[in-house]
Every structure is written in C-alpha cells, then in structure tokens.
Amino acid sequence: MDRLVVDVPDFPEPGVVFKDITPLLADPEGFAAVVAALADAGRDADGTVVVDKVVGMEARGFILGAPAALALGVGFVPVRKAGKLPGDVHAVSYDLEYGQATLEVHCHAIAPGERVLLVDDVLATGGTVAATRDLVAACGAVTTGVAVLMELSFLPGRATIGAGGELDVTALSTV
C-alpha cells in the first residue's frame, strides 16, 4: 500500500507534505485491500458487524468510507464542508493543521443510539475527527471507532481525539 501513496511537498501550502492516494485508488487490488481492512474496524474479533453507520469526512473519507459501509452492509453518511448539504444540519467549526473549517451533517442522517465508525484518509492533528465525533454526538449517536488509511505519528491526532479510551483507532499505515 505504501508504494501507492505519493508524497507531494508544499501542497496545499509551503511546509505541508500532501499524501496523494490517487495511485492507490487506481489500483483495484490495492484499493480493495484497503477497503476490506478499513471495514474490519467495524467488526468484532468474531467478524460480527458492530456498527450501524459509517461516516466519511469530505472528501477522501467519502471515497474510502462508502465502500467500507457497503462491505459491512450498513449505511454511509457523508460529513460535508459548510453549505454543501440542503435542509437541517448540525455544524461544528474547528482548527485544521493549516487553517480553520466547518463541517456539517444532516440532522436526520444518524439516529440516536446508533453506533458509528468514522473513516478518513489521514489522522493528523485530529481536528477533523474530533469535529466529526461531535457531529455524531449531536445526532445522539456514539462513535465507536476511527479507521484511517494512514496516521501521521508526529502530530497529536490520537491525543486530540482521546484514543486509547473508549475510542478504537485503526491506522493501516503510520508515518
């Protein structure tokens, strides 16, 4: 998998190394293996599905989360940037590694009490995951785990989201 992720220096701004996953997405065997591994984070040790929904964060979380939801046989919910969803939404603003953002989810997309797996491409500072977890909680649901393609270990993502307690984090690769 690591050979299919390309570093792009100074994107989207100087000092940031962007992890380009498009070569991975273009490789059907690599993409299938990643989807299967991410979906495994929504199962217990016996292989039983233990989540009701998969939530993917804009935009690469959509690409990875939707097929993981299909593999689990559960629904997929997109978390979008502000102003992209029609109707009633919950919104959370937060800090990024290199700026600020607001995320939204439809108020009715996740039912109270549902168990949710968050899927994204990268766990960096943890801001996007923490904001998404807040959105899930605003719906009355519980985030049970996070599954990411890669974790940037030199940034405080796990500490930010409180990993190690009630929240399981699965990272397919750590850099």
Tell me the per-residue pLDDT of 19-74, one tens digit each, with 9 for 90 and over: 999 999 999 999 999 999 999 999 999 999 999 999 999 999 999 999 999 999 99
Lowest mean pLDDT among 20-24, 98-102, 171-175: 98-102
Q: How many domains does the chain have?
A: 1
- Phi and psi angles of residue 64, each rounded to the nearest 5 degrees, phi first: -90, -35
Instruction: Compute CA distances 34 → 43, 76, 84, 119, 147, whole Å.
Output: 15, 17, 27, 12, 10
Please say whether the beta carbons of 65 and 119 come within 8 A: yes
> How far is it, in rounded angstroms, from Cα 39 to Cα 49?
9
Within the chain, what is the greatest distance between any pair of CA atoms? 45
This prediction's pTM: 0.94
> How far is it, in rounded angstroms, from Cα 76 to Cα 117?
10
Q: Spell out the alpha helix ranges (H) of the chain.
A: 22-26, 28-40, 60-72, 127-138, 157-161
pLDDT digits (tens, 9 = 90+) for 147-172: 999 999 998 899 888 766 678 999 99
Q: Which two tokens stand for residue 104?
A: 């939204």
CATH code of the domain containing 68: 3.40.50.2020
Question: How does DSSP classify residue 38?
Answer: H
Give the DSSP H or E segment for 148. Answer: strand 142-151
Taken in order 137, 139, 145, 146, the sign of the CA dihedral is negative
Share of the chain above pLDDT 90, in %: 79
The letter for the amino acid at 88 is: D
Q: Virtual CA dihedral for 51, 70, 74, 164, nearest 10 degrees? A: 20
Give me the active site residues, please: 60, 97
Note down the domain range covering 105: 2-174
